[in-house]
Amino acid sequence: MHPATDPPAPARLREPANRVSPRAPLLWGLNAAGPLVGVLVVLLFGEQAGWFTLPAWLWPAYALLALGYVLGMPLVRYRVHRWESTASAVYTQTGWLARERRIAPMSRVQTVDFDQSALGRLLGLATVTVTTASAAGPLQLAALQVDVALRLVDELTRRAEADQGDAT
């Protein structure tokens, strides 16, 4: 076995250093609310039009679950989502119930994408996607403040260029 250059440190990874923008929960909440409101409208409309009749308890149950999701999920997500970029690697943590950490060495970074949804532009948030040559490995840093995201894109592009091999 190769002599690992890592120091024999505690056997767990720490969380990435940076949180995403504090406005991120608002973005996630609004995004989650959209389809839920859509379903509600269809249900209401269907009931009015007489396509089907729904039990009365459905409405409060739906409202409770939907509200719980729209308010709860973004807050949990905000506590989970973190990112970090060092000279030699990018490190992200995402998810809320299921969680995922992704680590890509800078030398394997192929593209750095910056994009903003319409809602993201209103809130001044952007997503940075770091891809490698593997289809299994894009790292998404969602809901960053625009200036943070732009600075990050510059920095990553510079570092990846400085460390460019074949990257496959």
Partner 1 sequence: MPPDEPMTSTVLVRAHEWRRLDPLMLLVHPVNELVRFLPLVIATVVFGSSGDDRGPWQWQWIGVAIPIALGVGRFLTTRFRITTEQVELRRGLFARSVLRAPLDRVRTVEVTSSPIHRLLGLAKVAIGTGSAARAGDERLELDGLALRHARELRTALLHRAGTTDVPGAAGAVTRRPDTGRVLLRFDPRWLRYAPLTSSGIVIAAAVAAGVGQLVDAAGDRLTRWSLPDLAQLALWIAVPLGLVLAVALFSVFAVLGYLITNGGFRLSVDPSGRTFHVTRGLVTTRETTLERDRIRGVEVHEPLGLRLGGAARLSAAVTGLDRRTGGTSPLAPPAPYDVVIGVGTEILDGSPALVVPLRHHGPRALRRRYLRAASGLGLPLLVAAAITLQDRSWAWTLLPTTLLLVVAEPLARDRYRRLGHALDARHLVVSSGTFSSRRQVLAREGIIGWNIRQSWFQRRGGLCDLVATTSAGRQACTAHDVPEPVAVALASAAVPGLLGQFRG
Among the listed ranges 9-17, 25-33, 38-46, 112-120, the one in contact with partner 1 (CB under 8 A) is: 9-17
Angle 8-9-14 from CA coordinates, rounded to 5°: 145
CA dist 84 and 28 (Å) reads: 21
Residue closer to partner 1, measured from CB, 49 or 98: 98
- Number of residues near partner 1 (by CB under 8 A): 42
Asked if 74 touches partner 1 (CB under 8 A), the answer is no
| Spatial distance between the Cα atoms of 86 and 74, rounded to a whole number of angstroms | 27
The interaxial angle of helices 24-49 and 58-80, nearest 10 deg, is 160
Handedness of CA 102, 108, 111, 112 (dihedral sign): positive
23 binds partner 1 (CB under 8 A): no
Q: Report the DSSP beta bridge partners of residue 140.
A: 129
User: What CA–CA distance (Å, rounded) separates 69 from 142?
Assistant: 19
Residue 68 touches partner 1, criterion: CB under 8 A? no
Judged by CB, which is closer to partner 1: 100, or 147?
100
Could you say whether residue 2 binds partner 1 (CB under 8 A)?
yes
Question: What is the C-alpha to C-alpha distance for residues 18 and 128, in angstroms, rounded to an integer?
Answer: 14
Binding mask of the shown chain, residues 116 to 145, with x at each position contacting partner 1 by CB under 8 A: ---------------xxxxxxx-x------
Is 73 a binding residue for partner 1 by CB under 8 A? The answer is no
List contacts with partner 1 (CB under 8 A): 1-7, 9-14, 16, 84, 86, 88-89, 91, 97-105, 108, 110-111, 131-137, 139, 166-168
